[in-house]
Structure 1
Amino acid sequence: MAIITFHTVLIAVLSMKLLLLLFKKLRSAKVKLPPGPYGVPLVGYLPFLGRNIHQTFMELANIYGPIYKLSIGQKLFVLISSPALAKEVVRDQDITFANRNPTIAALAFSFGGKDIAFTPYGPEWCMLRRIFVQEMQSNANLDVFYPLRRDEVKKSVIDVYRSSGTPIDVGLLAFTSVINMITSMFWGGTLEADKGASINAQFRDAVSELLVIWGKPNISDFIPLLARFDIQGVERDMKRSSRWIEQIFDFVIDQRIQTNSLLNGQGAKKNDTNKDFLGFLLEFKDHDTGKSLSRAQMKAFLADIVIGGTGTTSTAFVWTMAELMLHPKVMKKAQDELLEVVGAGNIVEEYHSHKLLYLQAVVKETLRLHPPAPVLLPRCPIQTCTVGGYTIPKGAKVFLNAWAIQRDSQLWENPSKFEPERFLGDAKNLDFSGNEFHYIPFGSGRRICAGLRLGERMLMYTLSTFLHMFHWNVPDDQMPDTEEKFGIVLEKSTPLIAIPMPRLNNLKLYE
């Protein structure tokens, strides 16, 4: 009896093992996850990421290939660094990958993920994007708002002229110029001069603080079990900073409504009082439904412009200036083009930009080497799918490593060198639209950067103005470095310090 029992148990155990092996084989045949490194229990690969995550991701791609997985805390990350696989995500399966997986800080800032960047794909998102991209940022509207941008750039030119011959922080110049343009376009002449200056200063401080907080890695994003404790205080700090910005929005909206009511009572025309983004939002009615925007939606639109415009544009400005200072011949060629197109007796206007082909190439090359968001914002598949023959589980965070793609030696000749000429000739039409998947500094597909039109205008206009108006020298012949600092945007790790000197003989142009 004992022998029969032993044999029975042995057969049962062997049968179970065979069934488990068969089940595992069947499962592996259906679910083939990408390769990737092992981590450590609980935290996965988190301890090995290093400071500049985008560079670590590129190093891992050299080991595991153009698609691989990482377990970071309780999250599954999938990293993609080839144009063909990027195309599968943003073109072939764009709807599947049209959602985001926002961080805790992003949710706190975006009214619970209700803005364009983080609203789930669907009818509401389509409506918001249409309003933001096709109507709010139409060429006609951006042209109407141009005098507001021009006035702020002129003020910055005067400030730099007064600092001629002394070192200035180029990053601070870029940030101040861009945020002043944005606040001017936000609410234009809504506020009286003194009150406007005070509000704008508060807004600059709040945005600066918000960008710093958002750039902090948050352990709660990787290990959701810890989110309730907010160990690093990121959620608390982001909510405080967001409330500060929201209070400014509410104040300005109330002021505009009050002003409009008063002017309408006096018979003033709306077109005379609403030539800014806020006026557009207050007047907007959806063509299909006839509905106006809620206050929360208006604030979400304004908040998106803050991030889409300020961080990316000012960072791209700094990187372009740094590369130009490192390559004096390139800077001279760009400035010579400005003299030819604009003239020594004139200031730059936005309409000059389309004629500045070499400067456009300089900007494109800068954004190839230093894309503002090096791994772009992550996409989150709404269902389990296949990319490159590998299974991507529903809910995974999928990153497109633009930084690695744009430095790939198989795609670019001399990929580490700064060579604007690569964007001239046959490649001059290579732009930021994301249609060529080896060049995607602002993403591609449905989730391409929503503020691209405005950001491109502001970057080209400010850059061409300051290059045309000033010579830029480095103090004590200390050339800038190109060390990077990973965050919400890819910043230069050390401030860019330069000495401006007037470049044009007609000093009245600086008044």
Structure 2
Amino acid sequence: MTNNIISRVALGRKYDEVNKSGMNAKAIIEKLLSLLGTFNIGDYIPWLEWVNRITGLDTKVDKVAKELDIFLESVFEEHIIRNTKGEYHAGEAKDFVDVLLEIQNGKETGFSLQRDSLKALLVDSFAAGTDTTHTALEWTMTELLRHPRAMETLQNEVRGLVQGKAEIKEDDLGNMQYLKAAIKESLRLHPPIPLLIPRESIKDVKLLGYHIPAKTQVIINAWSIGRDLLLWENPEEFRPERFLNSDIDVKGLNFELIPFGGGRRGCPGSTFAIMVNELALARIVHKFNFALPKEEE
């Protein structure tokens, strides 16, 4: 589902079929995500990076990279042809590729963008957004199934606010405070990336009495922060109510809750990810009832 959503937003359609070259875009993305989750010893011990050649990891990465490059090139060519022929209808929303091509062809940025840079931006969208988004949704549903009262409270809120509507729209989400609280609580307990993307210190610094030399890799444990007894009352409990009267958000300004990181290097797609999760969860609990089998409760 999340792969299809990102495909439609970024590429204009789902691309889940086999194309003229016999390539299946969905399968390529799945292979990419699988490789990104593979343990790479060179990331932690650089002088052992040669091990990847023996295990075959480098070969697999090169193969998927070539397949992905061919696919993305075909996507760009398809959009260029559509633009040239004027096949877009009036009022039709532009996708991310259209925007990137406009930036590449325009002079507003003051710098040039090569095709490889545009492809890299698209790869980032899929790599960072597909797996993390559906992981967050799965954990939220898991916790709600384990806590029937929370599920009931959420369903009552959603169904009460959209009474009489066949489908929930993005505009309906604004007043769903328990929905937002449930997602925040799930992200606190189960951040999609427990150890945030590593950073590197640019100079020597002293922090809380510790000396951190320049070029030191720094890894932030978002999972541990979300379960810290000094920051949270009963941190192991799934209790969305803790966020109902709280200003704590996931935008990176409240350091006790940073599933998307923070600052200039925080996740640029966090707003999109939250919106997708809110809308998907609202529609699911609006239409369906869920419960664990009796013996598993």
Output the TM-score relative to the length of structure 2.
0.90
Aligned residues: 292
Report Cα offsets for 1:126-169 as digits up to 9, x if no partner. xxxxxxxxxxxxxxxxxxxxxxxxxxxxxxxxxxxxxxxxxxxx
Contact 1:260 1:273 in 2 (8 A): no
Q: Residue 46 of structure 2 aligns with which residue?
A: 224
Contact 2:155 2:286 in 1 (8 A): yes
Q: Give the SS at the match of 1:386.
A: strand
What are the residue-to-residue correspondences of 1:87-486 with 2, within 5 Å?
Answer: 177-188=1-12, 197-199=17-19, 202-230=24-52, 231-263=54-86, 275-284=94-103, 285=106, 287-289=108-110, 291=111, 293-425=113-245, 427=246, 429-475=247-293, 477-479=295-297
Aligned-residue identity in percent: 35
> Which runs of structure 1 show a deviation greater than 6 angstroms over 4 or more consecutive aligned residues?
268-271
**Hey, what's the Cα distance between the residues in 2 that align with 1:242 and 1:343?**
48
Contact 1:384 1:392 in 2 (8 A): yes
Report Cα offsets for 1:77-136 as digits up to 9, x if no partner. xxxxxxxxxxxxxxxxxxxxxxxxxxxxxxxxxxxxxxxxxxxxxxxxxxxxxxxxxxxx
Question: Are the structure 2 counterparts of residues 477 and 282 from structure 1 closer, same or farther at C-alpha, using a change threshold of 3 Å?
Answer: farther
**Hey, what's the Cα distance between the residues in 2 that align with 1:246 and 1:273?**
27
What's the CA shift for 1:197?
3.1
**Structure 1: segments with no counterpart, 5+ residues:** 1-176, 480-511
Q: Give the SS at the match of 2:257.
A: coil
**Hey, what's the Cα distance between the residues in 2 that align with 1:399 and 1:286?**
38
**Structure 2: segments with no counterpart, 5+ residues:** none
Q: Tell which deviates more after alignment, 296-305 or 341-350.
A: 341-350
Question: Are the structure 2 counterparts of residues 393 and 271 from structure 1 closer, same or farther at C-alpha, using a change threshold of 3 Å?
Answer: farther
Q: Tell which deviates more after alignment, 324-333 or 270-279.
A: 270-279
What's the CA shift for 1:203?
2.1
Q: Give the alignment's Cα RMSD to 1 decimal.
A: 2.3
**Hey, what's the Cα distance between the residues in 2 that align with 1:256 and 1:403?**
41
Q: Residue 153 of structure 1 aligns with which residue?
A: none
Question: Are the structure 2 counterparts of residues 288 and 204 from structure 1 closer, same or farther at C-alpha, using a change threshold of 3 Å?
Answer: closer
Question: Are the structure 2 counterparts of residues 458 and 313 from structure 1 closer, same or farther at C-alpha, using a change threshold of 3 Å?
Answer: same
Report Cα offsets for 1:432-453 as digits up to 9, x if no partner. 1111111111111111111112
Write the letter of the residue equivalent to 1:444: G
What's the CA shift for 1:345?
3.7
What's the CA shift for 1:293?
3.0
Contact 1:308 1:455 in 2 (8 A): no
Structure number having the greater strand percentage? 1
**Hey, what's the Cα distance between the residues in 2 that align with 1:196 and 1:410?**
46
**Hey, what's the Cα distance between the residues in 1 that align with 2:142 and 2:134?**
12
Contact 1:361 1:421 in 2 (8 A): yes
Q: Give the SS at the match of 2:178.
A: helix
What's the CA shift for 1:407?
0.5
Instruction: Choose between structure 1 and 2 for higher RCO, CA contacts under 8 A separated by at least 6 residues.
Output: 1
Q: Tell which deviates more after alignment, 242-251 or 229-238.
A: 229-238
Contact 2:16 2:25 in 1 (8 A): no
**Hey, what's the Cα distance between the residues in 1 that align with 2:94 and 2:255?**
37
**Hey, what's the Cα distance between the residues in 1 that align with 2:185 and 2:27?**
31
Q: Tell which deviates more after alignment, 307-316 or 326-335.
A: 307-316
**Hey, what's the Cα distance between the residues in 2 that align with 1:270 and 1:384?**
56
Q: Residue 42 of structure 1 aligns with which residue?
A: none
Q: Give the SS at the match of 1:472.
A: coil
Contact 1:273 1:279 in 2 (8 A): no
**Hey, what's the Cα distance between the residues in 2 that align with 1:435 and 1:286?**
34
Contact 2:191 2:259 in 1 (8 A): yes
